[in-house]
Structure 1
């Protein structure tokens, strides 16, 4: 007889599903100390297997096998202590829902797709947490498989972040097909990278920095290769580029007469594109030297996750900042939030809304449901959804933002069947039930009155929704009664029967 192994509650896991490699970091947290206890790296090269915004079957089989191996390691870690994020390759794929479903099943944990700017922020979190504290600004450069992230920050605070669609895998496939290396190819790759970098050049140079740090594979591999040449300098990098051109092919650089001592054979297929991007970045920003830095996206995900559990959740400050920026009526938002949470407490068991994430999203949606009023009252639910869907929101994945936007967009007026079908952060039934609770809360608080609402009992007999009001209360509130009658028609569109009775 076997028993299910229980892991210590102090274990946290971060999974970075990158365009080139999948990475896992497992750490043990005890007190204020964080101790890495395991790492796994799987060189999948997902970006190289994307054609017409779809992942080729052979590439996905390789990815699925890697996910299964990582999943075996983290499946028993509690959901709130593990986080998996997908980056540029997942952002490119058109039909992500099926892939995310397969990945989530293999890992035993939900996979989130994060935006490029959020990826840059998390990279900075990873670098700044592991690097000694300093007063000056620093530029962090990370060249991944499908994208390049740049962040200027001071201490632990990122000040400006950018993500550009160029990486070592994508650029090698585009400019150095088959591993062939020529000078015209390098010139073309560097020129294209310079064009991409020009879009952010002015803003970054205006802030300035006193130190440049490089993280992740390409930069760390180049720094190690050039360590005996004085480190990763612009001059040494040009010399490496020239030697690669003379070698003419990636295979020749790893072995044979033209081999470069210490050449990273495991990165040979993607190295030329990464060096071209790195060279372009150093030329664009006039960087003479880059210091290799420990810490990258996976460490950023890990530290950010641990911060959430210690109630240092950057998402809370993101919501507060949006409320301030768009002049949200905080008193009304608090009324709606309190009413919605009362409903959730009564319905969470029969409706299966017991996960802590359900309460968080309902609370955030209530706080931001009127964010679109800063644009116009007419259609403000659509304006609010647009703002939340398209704003850079530190701490939130793209899927999280889409769910939050959907709840805001459906908090009033017409509720379309199928509106939640494409959600990946929550299934359609869960999304619809959260929307129903928010809609009822908004309706009950429509008067914007400081007079407290009476106790309204919410129940879900047969999975439906029943509201029990004090006797005669609805007779004295005809607007609310009319609103509930209309609401019953809207909720019926998503399969929820709303009934009202006196208690």
Structure 2
């Protein structure tokens, strides 16, 4: 008989799901992978389809089952730890034709070992989400075992559309976004992946990135490049930010990442970071001719840009990134009052010196910001029922008093994990709230707009304009 062992497709991240883990559904990417499995098995005459009971496993194969007029079979044993032999007896009892079974990675690995193909190590990338092991048995013995990678996501063909990716190599994380881009229609997001690294912590503590973290960065870049390749993307735009500029051994980091990617990266200056973020924020908010004061708060730096048109008139980059400040000032798991005041003093001093030469006053400017920390703070507040914080999918409002409240609660030991907030970013949120509330106080503002577009979208807009259009 032929047995197909399928690891479930990509699901919503645990950090973004507040319900029971067994009810965590597929992500948009997982839904595409599930549709890809329908194509992959189009010529396979499946007799039965089985699945573990978790929603992500069932959703992976329900579409495939529907095209065959089959019910998805479940059994309590499919969720029992250490039951690989019993499961094989159950799903292998059907001799009418090929059988498919979908489950978590750990169970797929146990079944492979039980079948005697454990020497074909299914560790990543040999057991990726939505991947398949095809096992053929005769008289109880395995005669063939093949690994089938996840179904390739279809890339649009024809016309001016093409698939592009931006790899934002930041001080807190390496982030990938893949889009289908059209010079007339703009873009549609295909994939988003992130690896939290926290490299910016080393800029303040000795200024050298340790060898083990250089290796982690190279592995992360290689993994994200593979993710882009897996969805048919060949146009990769990697950009390096503050950590590459400021680390004493930044050239070593560049070499590691470029080797992993197989191509050069574009090292952005602080001014370029500010200009790209300004372009994205202005395009997204559609504020007409209103003057804009844009800020981009990252892990290693804080950028300002002001202007009234499509291009920024003035830009500046400041060493006030949240990962950098956290490493320099926060010594334990809980932020102390002395540490808070030290961060506020640093921000006031640096920002005051900057604004003196940056021009002003800025009260007439629309104040808006971008960056992962700002978006996480906005999600946190909207998840807490703060109606004033949420304006829609593309923007939110963060008020100074809300930011102060976040600092007070987190300093007291409260743990806030909101929907869509990576758990490893949570420790940085009070530092981000301190930076922003101090900045608002210095600018004599009560709130700022948080935009969901930032540096990555600025890079895409730049690439799109070079393709001959001005779409958004």
1:253 aligns with 2:387: no
What are the Cα deviations for residues 368-410 of structure 1, in whole angstroms up to 9, with x where unaligned? xxxxxxxxxxxxxxxxxxxxxxxxxxxxxxxxxxxxxxxxxxx
Q: 1: CA distance between counterparts of 2:209 and 2:360?
A: 37
Residue matched to 2:437? 279
Asked if 1 retains the 8 angstrom alpha-carbon contact of 2:200 and 2:323, the reply is: yes
SS at match of 1:53: coil
TM-score (norm 2): 0.58
1:375-394 superposed matches below 5 A: none
Structure 1 pair 43–198 and aligned structure 2 pair: CA distance change class (3 A): same
Structure 2 residue corresponding to 1:225, chosen from 380, 391, 399: 380
| TM-score between the two structures when normalised by the length of structure 1 | 0.55
Deviation of residue 208 (structure 1)?
A: 4.5
Alignment match, 2:403: 237
Displacement after TM superposition at 1:100 (Å): 1.7
Asked if 1:45 is matched to 2:190, the reply is no
Is the contact made by 1:121 and 1:158 (CA closer than 8 Å) also made in structure 2?
yes
Higher strand share: 2
The root-mean-square deviation of aligned C-alpha atoms, in Å, is 2.7
Q: Which residue of 1 aligns with 2:177?
A: 25
**CA displacement at 1:303 relative to structure 2:** 1.3
Regions of 4+ moved over 6 Å: 260-264
Question: 1:69: Cα distance to partner?
Answer: 1.1
Q: Please name the residue that 2:14 is paired with.
A: none
Contact 1:254 1:264 in 2 (8 A): no
Q: Point out the structure with the larger helix share.
A: 1
SS in 2 for 1:218: helix
How far did 1:48 drift? 1.9
Residue 128 of structure 1: CA displacement? 1.9
CA distance in 1, matches of 2:333, 2:362: 38
Does 38-47 or 28-37 show the bigger shift? 28-37
- After superposition, the C-alpha distances for 1:349-382 in whole angstroms (9 at most, x for unaligned) are xxxxxxxxxxxxxxxxxxxxxxxxxxxxxxxxxx
Aligned to 1:97: 251
Q: Take 1:295 and 1:154, find their aligned partners in 2: how far apart are those partners?
A: 18
Alpha-carbon offset, residue 87 of structure 1: 0.7
Residue 205 of structure 1 aligns to a residue whose secondary structure is coil
CA distance in 2 between counterparts of 1:254 and 1:208 reads 32
Q: Distance in 2 between matches of 1:148 and 1:96?
A: 19
Q: Deviations over 1:33-58 (max 9, x none)?
A: 12222211111111124553321122
CA distance in 2, matches of 1:150, 1:49: 23
SS in 1 for 2:188: strand
**Corresponding position: 1:209 with 2:364:** yes
Q: How does 1:57-206 map to 2 (within 5 A)?
A: 57-74=211-228, 77-78=233-234, 81-202=235-356, 203-206=358-361
Aligned residues: 299
- Verify the 8 A CA contact 2:180 2:188 in the aligned structure 1: yes
Cα distance in 1 for partners of 2:300, 2:336 equals: 22
CA 1:56–1:303: 2 relative to 1, 3 Å: same
Deviation at 1:261, TM superposition (A): 10
Structure 2 portions without partners, runs of 5+: 1-147, 390-397
Cα distance in 2, alignment partners of residues 88 and 196 from structure 1: 17
Q: How far is 1:31 from its partner?
A: 4.3
Structure 2 CA distance, aligned partners of 1:94 and 1:169?
Answer: 17
Contact 1:74–1:107 (8 Å) recurs in 2: no
